């Protein structure tokens, strides 16, 4: 079976009755959402906070009850994908452009489970360009400030030859830093730049990673 499908579906085993769940974004969590919908149809009672408009649409279509931070303070568990996972479970996320909502939801969760195929496991972070969400106002200058932090090359993400716009109305700069030895320091330094809204480094946030392979799943903690 497809490794992403195996990992995504396995995560549903960790969802218990009456939990509030954070639903991540991407092609691996897609399988989590589909599988969760079957459990909901069979009587599982949960509420879910989606991390993107696309996840909200999919969950709604499949009959998963949605909630928001108006009514919820803490989530029991968030299940999300990743673009890179280091041996100490630090992550690069944001390949789908949903990193801001993903980090808000993960931060409000008791546990964060990451689902991924083995191609996402890396010895050290940094091969995947780090997504940095920036405001449209002053984006040119914000990018220059990001470059001063040691970024080797930066690309403003585009869609249909226009800047890609996130669910929050912002742009994404995809930043190649080379090997990231101090993700905690880089995460804080980036977020200290005015115009940077958030970045895709998730440091000390993941509790568990479910890796899908051709043969099954491996749990990394
Ligand atoms: C979206 C993300 C995704 O979780 C990440 O890009 C992994 O996606 P996929 O499961 O499709 O490989 O961070 O912002």
83 annotated as a binding-site residue: yes
CA pair distance 47, 70, nearest whole angstrom:
13
Catalytic entry in 9, 102, 187, 198:
102
State yes or no: is 198 an active-site residue.
no
Atom in ligand 1 nearest the alpha carbon of residue 30: 10
Question: Nearest-CA neighbor of 50 among 39, 34, 64, 38?
Answer: 64
- Calculate mean pLDDT across residues 3-28: 98
CA of residue 5 relative to chain centroid, distance: 17
CA pair distance 14, 216, nearest whole angstrom:
16
The dihedral built from the CA positions of residue 97, 10, 206 and 82, taken in this order, carries a sign that is: negative
What pLDDT band is residue 1 in, cutting at 50, 70 and 90? confident
pLDDT in tens, 191-211: 999 999 999 999 999 999 999
Residue that has been written with the tokens 């830093």 in this structure: 177
Q: Mapping DSSP to helix (H, G, I), strand (E, B) and coil, where does residue 218 land?
A: strand
CA pair distance 55, 23, nearest whole angstrom:
7
78: alpha, beta or left, given left = phi > 0 and alpha = psi -120 to 50? Answer: beta
pLDDT for the residue 19? 98
Q: Which of 9, 31, 82 to mutate to test the pocket of ligand 1 (most atoms within 8 A of CB)?
A: 82
81 annotated as a binding-site residue: yes
Contacts of 186 (CB under 8 A, 6+ apart): 130, 149, 177, 180, 199, 201
Q: Mapping DSSP to helix (H, G, I), strand (E, B) and coil, where does residue 21 land?
A: strand
pLDDT for the residue 97? 98
CA pair distance 50, 24, nearest whole angstrom:
6
pLDDT in tens, 56-112: 999 999 999 999 999 999 999 999 999 999 999 999 999 999 999 999 999 999 999
Distance (angstroms) between ligand 1 centre and the Cα of 210 equals: 14
Q: Is residue 162 predicted with pLDDT exceeding 80?
A: yes
| pTM for this prediction | 0.97
The dihedral built from the CA positions of residue 91, 209, 116 and 30, taken in this order, carries a sign that is: negative
- Calculate mean pLDDT across residues 20-30: 98
What is the overall mean pLDDT for the chain? Answer: 98
pLDDT in tens, 169-195: 999 999 999 999 999 999 999 999 999
């Amino acid at each position: 079976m497809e490794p992403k499908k195996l990992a995504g579906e396995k995560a549903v085993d960790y969802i218990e009755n009456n939990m509030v769940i954070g639903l991540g974004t991407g092609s691996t969590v897609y399988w989590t959402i589909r599988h969760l919908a079957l459990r909901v149809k069979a009587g599982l009672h949960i509420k879910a906070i989606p991390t993107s408009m696309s996840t909200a649409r999919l969950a709604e279509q499949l009959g998963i009850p949605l909630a928001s931070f108006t009514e919820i303070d803490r989530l029991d568990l968030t299940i999300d994908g990743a673009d890179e996972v280091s041996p100490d479970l630090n992550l690069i996320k944001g390949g789908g452009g949903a990193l801001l909502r993903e980090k808000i939801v993960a931060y409000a969760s008791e546990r964060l489970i990451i689902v991924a195929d083995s191609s996402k496991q890396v010895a050290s972070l940094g091969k995947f360009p780090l997504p940095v969400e920036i405001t449209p106002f002053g984006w040119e200058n914000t990018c220059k400030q990001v470059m001063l932090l040691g970024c080797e090359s930066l690309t403003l993400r585009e869609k249909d030859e226009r800047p890609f716009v996130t669910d929050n109305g912002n742009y994404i700069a995809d930043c190649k830093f080379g090997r990231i030895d101090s993700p905690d320091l880089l995460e804080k330094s980036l977020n200290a730049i005015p115009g940077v809204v958030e970045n895709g480094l998730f440091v000390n946030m993941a509790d568990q990673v479910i890796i899908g392979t051709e043969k099954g799943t491996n749990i990394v903690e």
